[in-house]
Amino acid sequence: MFLRMIRGTLFRQWKKMIMIAFTIALGASLASAMLSVMLDVGDKVNQELKTYGANIMVVPKEASVIGDLYELEGEENASAYLKEEDLGKIKTIFWAFNIVDFAPFTNVTGQTADGSEIDIVGSWYSHHMELPTGEQLDAGMESLRSWWELKEGSWLNEQTASQNDNGAMIGVTLAQRLGLGVGDTLHIKGKANELDFKIVGIYDAGGEEDQKLFTYLHNAQALSSLDGRINSIEVSAITTPDNELAELATKNGPSSLTVSQYEKWYCTAYASSICWQIQEAIPDCVASPVRQVADSEGAILEKTQLLMILITILSLIGAALGICNLVTATVMERSQEIGLMKAIGAQNGSISLLVLTEIFITAIIGGVAGFFAGFGFAQIIGHSVFGSAIEFRVMVVPIVAVLVVVVTLIGCIPAIRMLLGLRPTEVLHGK
């Protein structure tokens, strides 16, 4: 009998039930879309902020001290360089997954034909790496210098270049001074060897790099016979904004932390803990966060996330009140029907149960439909804004489910109370 009555309502009043289901679906889709976007916005914005370039610099431990104290000018000192063979180790640290890009730099000087000295920098350009983990990675300058404006020509590319390619990119200021264009050849006399560079591209970096010549790592090393040696590594990593724990670790050193604090710090992607792990992986190096990038990232991420959380809360409240309203309105409408039931002897409990079951069946249908629709909306937002999919988070499912159930229940309560208070004679009389 109970089932038959429910089926009766669902089929006879399908128009009304569809409307409730539709509203609940809208609310649920709003909730799931906003929650998905909110939970993913941190990662997405973090990716975008990578356009500011590296946030961690790795230099040899002895570089500054030896250079400064003993003024060993011109003399080669093995400990003042990092080893090229250690580079792959960066991708083996605990937070390897968070390291999106990195590139080594070898800085040398060379003389042009007219005798003037210029700075030459060797680095990676779309450098392909096969990692021990089986992962593949294309690392290099192109994303670490995303603000470079290419005036002429193209970027260097290791994958298309041959083994002994002498391609180079030249800064716009230097190119003007030397009167060079794309395709021209520049003869450079280094400390050890001489090389003819072929200009592949001219860039405008809007800074001091405009006075430099950028080439492949092996070319710069060959000029000063610095085989396998590099001056610094720039690392672009996705980091968590610093909190008190990270401050503490930076201030007093990780050794001052308690065991549990240390574990928590080590296993969170703070800039300082990633630096620490790089130092563990690469012998004799100092890795430090570039404050200009690392701190600002943290501030912007926090603000964006907070903004999204507040917008999400607003839309959740909106969705909840919307559903509540409609449920109350539709249930109250059925006073006559309920009055009739009461007149022929229905119990208060069974009436409440009947109304609740009907509404919940509708709510579940609407909620499930809405959840998927909302995830679709989230994907639209993800693709059109960030050009990548919004990740599916399991967390969203229970939140949306609880929200739908609670909101529907709250929507039913005033209506049911009113229905129970009905006097059948008055209702049927039409008052």
Partner 1 sequence: MVVALLSIAIGATILSGLVSIYYDVPRQMGAEFRNYGANVIFTASGDSFTVSDINDAAAIFDSGDIVGTAPFRYENVRINEKPIVAAGTDPEGVKKTSPYWRITGQWLEGSGELLVGANVADTFRLKEGDFIDVYYTPEGSQSADENGERVVVEDNIKSFTVVGILDTGGKEEDYVYMTLADIEELTQADKGRADIAELSVSLSADELADVVDKINAQVSTVHASLVKRVTASEATVLTKLQALVLLVTVVVLALTMICVATTMTAVVAERRKEIGLRKAIGASDTSIIKEFMGESMLLGLFGGILGSVLGFVFAQQVSINVFSSSISFRPLLVPVTVLISMAVTGLSSLMPIRSATYVDPALVLKGE
Interface with partner 1 in residues 270-329 (CB under 8 A): 288-296, 299-300, 303-304, 306-308, 310-311, 314-315, 317-319, 321-323, 325-326, 328-329
Which residues on neighbouring strands pair with residue 382, listed in sequence order? none
* Residue from 95, 124, 371, 377 binding partner 1 (CB under 8 A): 377
- 129 φψ region: left (φ > 0), alpha (ψ -120 to 50), beta (else): beta
Select 262 or 386, whichever has its Cβ closest to partner 1: 386
> Nearest distance from residue 75's CB to partner 1, in Å?
18
φ and ψ of 241, to 5 deg: -55, 145
Q: Which of residues 113-142 bind partner 1 (CB under 8 A)?
A: none
Nearest-10 Cα torsion for 277, 281, 284, 289: -30
Nearest to 148 by CA among 205, 206, 212, 213: 205
Provide, for the chain, the percentages of residues in helix, strand and coil under a 3-state DSSP scheme, each rounded to the nearest 5.
Answer: 55, 20, 25
Select 33 or 195, whichever has its Cβ closest to partner 1: 33
Gap between the Cα atoms of 369 and 376, Å rounded: 11
Residue 16: half-sphere exposure toward Cβ, Cα within 13 Å: 17
Select 85 or 244, whichever has its Cβ closest to partner 1: 244
Find where tokens 């149960």 sit: 353
Gap between the Cα atoms of 279 and 61, Å rounded: 10
> Nearest distance from residue 167's CB to partner 1, in Å?
23
Q: Is 366 in the site for partner 1 (CB under 8 A)?
A: no
Q: Which of residues 20-49 bind partner 1 (CB under 8 A)?
A: 22-23, 26-27, 29-30, 33-34, 37, 41, 45, 48-49
Select 204 or 280, whichever has its Cβ closest to partner 1: 204
Q: Is 19 in the site for partner 1 (CB under 8 A)?
A: yes
Q: In a 3-state reduction of DSSP, which class is residue 209?
A: helix
Q: Which stretch binds partner 1 (CB under 8 A): 4-12, 186-194, 349-357, 383-391?
A: 383-391
Q: Which stretch binds partner 1 (CB under 8 A): 145-153, 262-270, 343-351, 356-364?
A: 145-153
Binding mask 161-200 for partner 1 (x = CB under 8 A): ----------------------------------------
